[in-house]
Amino acid sequence: MRDFPSCFGENGVQVADSSSSSAARNAQNLVACSYQCRLKGHCCLITLTWSKHMMGQGLSVGIDDSSNHCLCKVDVKPWLFSKRKGCKSLEAYSSKVDLYWDLSAAKFGSGPEPSEGFYVAVVVDKHIILLLGDMRKEALKKTNATLSTSSATFVGKREHIYGKKVFATKAQFFDGGQVHAVVIECDTTGVNDPCLLLRVDSKTVMQIKRLRWKFRGNHTILVDGLAVEVLWDVHDWLFASPGGDAVFMFKTCLSAEKLWSNQSSEPNSLPWSFSQRGERFLDSKCQGIGLSLILHAWKNE
């Protein structure tokens, strides 16, 4: 699988067989965030994939070039005591790239992504091009580097969420923007005519009836005064065996029309790439104020 960051399928966890829903939950509990940056004059994507396994949390970091080629990657296993903090050197474009992390005091919620007490820093030529976490002072001291004036920009996120009828998460729709509560509601058990509801900050912004006929589609909503394109594919919820996921994508971008340039005139049809269960959503060359958010929604039976 090659998802919106090019190394996503390699750094992330592959889709498990739907016949084992418990194994799927364990294997697919992940959050991946992509950041666009310039490295030695080249446009690149840095992708951090946080995963949660039976043994504990995990972290993978990969750097892609603009041609969706993985330049380098590293796996960190924070559940091993010796790996809770450290540094590793990588190479991209014949330059040294240093990855620093400290997860020794990290606090985790129900998901795989830490909420506080950590930092992750990517350093090139004594400049921090990406710094995540709330321990900024500690990161600056440890790396002995300065923050780059052209820091990386948040451009994409992929997350696995779980529920029976209601699926909730937090989301930003452009870099540095307000964090919104996003809720997807859909009851497909014993319902002849399921309905799909989407709420942002408790406000209903989308309602799709006759879902068996409209199991794939797209709709535009407004968030923070911006147009956000919402795409959905709930085929596996309705027609596949138990354990299948639904895929939702939220996209805000000044050049978003590129995504629809090959779409047919039928209003509820989708580009072929979307029907392939979420592959190749993000155009890494997209220049705009927005980002792409991909949600894989798994039903807890």
Q: What is the pLDDT of residues 156-197, one digit of tens each?
A: 999 999 999 999 999 888 777 888 999 999 988 777 889 999
* Res 9: pLDDT: 32
Q: Is the pLDDT of residue 26 over 80?
A: no
CA pair distance 63, 99, nearest whole angstrom: 11
Mean pLDDT of 19-30: 52
Mean pLDDT of 212-217: 94
Q: What angle do CA 55, 31, 288 make, to 5 degrees?
A: 160
CA pair distance 43, 204, nearest whole angstrom: 37
* Res 283: pLDDT: 42
Name residues whose C-beta falls within 8 Å of residue 248's C-beta, 6 or more positions apart in sequence: 184, 230, 231, 232, 233, 294, 295, 297
* Res 4: pLDDT: 36
pLDDT band of residue 219 (cuts 50, 70, 90) is very high
Which of 261 and 127 is assigned the larger pLDDT?
Answer: 127
pLDDT band of residue 55 (cuts 50, 70, 90) is confident
What value does the mean pLDDT of the chain take? 79
